[in-house]
Chain A
C-alpha cells in the first residue's frame, strides 16, 4: 500500500532542466502589481530576476541555456549568472517550488 516515489534530493547542476510542478503556480497578481508563486500554504514573492529565470524554467531548457539567454538579455557574464541560477534553482527545489 505504500507509494514508492523518488525519494532523493534533486541537485541543481548546469545540465538540470528545472520546471514548475503542476501544483506550483507562477502568476501575475494584478491587484498588487507583482509576480507571485502560489504553493501549498505558501505565497512567495520572487524578485524581478527570479521571475525572469522562472519564466524560462520550462523543463526543456537547461540551467545553462537559461543562463545563456539571460546573459544575452542582461549583457552580463554567463559564468556569474549561471552560478546565481544554480543556487536559486537548488533553493527553490529544496522548497518544493521547482522540480529538476
Chain B
C-alpha cells in the first residue's frame, strides 16, 4: 500500500546489495573499472553480526505515558549499571560490529553520566542516537552532549495540543520545554528527529503534528502508531484507533511525504492489528539488534521478558559477543528452525520471520505459533475483532499511567 519501513531494526530487510555487476569487466582498459550503467541507489544493509543496540540506561522518567514500552515491572534505580560497566559494554558492542547505538530509557538524560557514556560510545566508532522526551535537558547540557560526540537526537512528543499532551504524559509544561529544546538544537546545528507515538487520544491531531515537526526544523518525523506491548497493552482499550482512523493516517503521511520531499524524511510505523501480514519484528529474532536493560540483562527485544522459558544473560557476567552468539534467549527463536506451520513452509518465512514471538505468546500462549497479526493465523480474526471492538467503545477506559515500582491494583 505504501512504503513502510521499520524504525527500530535497521537493516531489517534482507536485501540484495547493489554491489553485483560493479566488478571489472575484462574488456575495460587497464587500471580502469567499468562504469556500471546501473542504479546507484543505496540499499539497507544487513549482516549476521548485530547492527543496532538499544541501551535502556535507566527506567527513571518524569513522564508517565500510558503506552511506554518499558516493562510493567521495572529494574530499580539502585540496580542500574555503573558508568564503567556501560562504558565496557559499549566498547564490546563496537567490537562486535554494532554500528548504531540508541541511548534510551526511561529518560536517558536522567543519568548524570550521559555525557561520559556518549563520549565512550562515540570514540568507539558507533553512531550515537539519543532517544529523549527532552524535558530535563538544558542548553549547556545539550552542548556538552554535542561536544561528547552525540550524532543525533530523537525527541518524543505526546501531542501538539498542550492540554492533551499534559494529560497523556501526566507532566506539566512539557511542550514548551520541547519547543525550547528544538530552538537550541537548531542553534547548535544538531540534526533532529521528532517522534510522535500515535494512538486514539492524539490521532486526530496528526496533521498539526506534521506541521509542528516542520516548524521545529526537524530533519525526520517518525509517525509511530503505538505498538501494543507492556504498558500500551495494558492500556490498549484506551489507545487503539479504529481501522478508519488508521487508514486516514496512511493518507496523511503519504500526502506529507510528497509535500515535504527533500525537506523532511518520514518514517511510518503502522499498528499490526489491522495488517494482514505480520511485521518482521526486530528484523528477525537475534538477527540484527539487541536491547540491554538498565541492570544489564540482554534481550532480543524489549518485550522478550514476557516469554516464559527464556534465560537472559547479564553483561555483568558474560561478554556481549558470547551472549549474542550463544545466549539461550537469542538461540531459541533465531532463524527458522523453531517454526511450526504455517510459518515453516511459508515463502515469507525469511521476510517477516513469523512476526512477533511476544504477540504470539500473548494471544495464543505459545511463542512458536504464528503471530496473530498474520492472516494465516487461526487466531487472526479474533485478534482483529479485539482491536475493532476496543477501538469502537464510546467511552474508553482511563489511562493506567506508567509508574516505576510496577502496577498497583
Contact = CB atoms under 8 A, between A and B. Distances in A.
Contacts of B37: 80, 84
Contacts of B261: 9, 94
Contact of A50 (B11, B32, B40, B99): B40
A48 B19 contact: yes
Contacts of B36: 47, 49
Given A38-B127, A95-B265, A3 B186 contact: yes
Given A25-B151, A47-B19, A84-B40, A41 B215 contact: no
Interface string B218-241: 011010000000000000000000
Interface in B129-170: 129, 151-152, 154
A49 B35 contact: yes
A74 B23 CA distance: 12
B342 interface: no
A76 to B, nearest CB: 4
Contacts of A74: 32-35
B406 interface: no
A32 B262 contact: no
> For chain A, which range describes its interface: under 10, 10 to 19, 20 to 34, or 35 or more residues?
35 or more
A44 B40 CA distance: 12
A91 to B, nearest CB: 6
> For chain B, which range describes its interface: under 10, 10 to 19, 20 to 34, or 35 or more residues?
35 or more
Given A1-B179, A9-B261, A47-B18, A40 B191 contact: yes
B408 interface: no
A28 to B, nearest CB: 10
Nearest to B41: A91
Contacts of B77: none
Contacts of A46: 18, 40, 42
Interface string B249-275: 000000000000111010100000000
Taking each of B17, B97, B151, B262, which has the highest tally of chain A beta carbons within 10 Å of its own beta carbon? B262
Interface string B58-102: 000000000000000000000000000000000000000101101
8 contacts: A4-B217, A5-B217, A36-B99, A49-B35, A50-B42, A74-B32, A74-B34, A76-B32
Interface of B: 7, 10-11, 15, 17-19, 22, 28-29, 32-38, 40-45, 47, 49, 51, 97, 99-100, 102, 125, 127, 129, 151-152, 154, 179-180, 182-183, 185-186, 189-191, 193, 214-217, 219-220, 222, 261-263, 265, 267
Given A2-B179, A47-B38, A84-B40, 18 more contacts: A1-B179, A2-B215, A9-B263, A23-B190, A23-B191, A25-B127, A32-B47, A38-B127, A40-B220, A41-B10, A41-B193, A45-B17, A47-B18, A53-B40, A70-B35, A93-B262, A95-B42, A96-B265
The 10 A-B pairs at the shortest CB distance, nearest first, are namely A9-B262, A45-B45, A47-B18, A76-B35, A44-B42, A3-B186, A5-B217, A38-B127, A23-B191, A3-B217
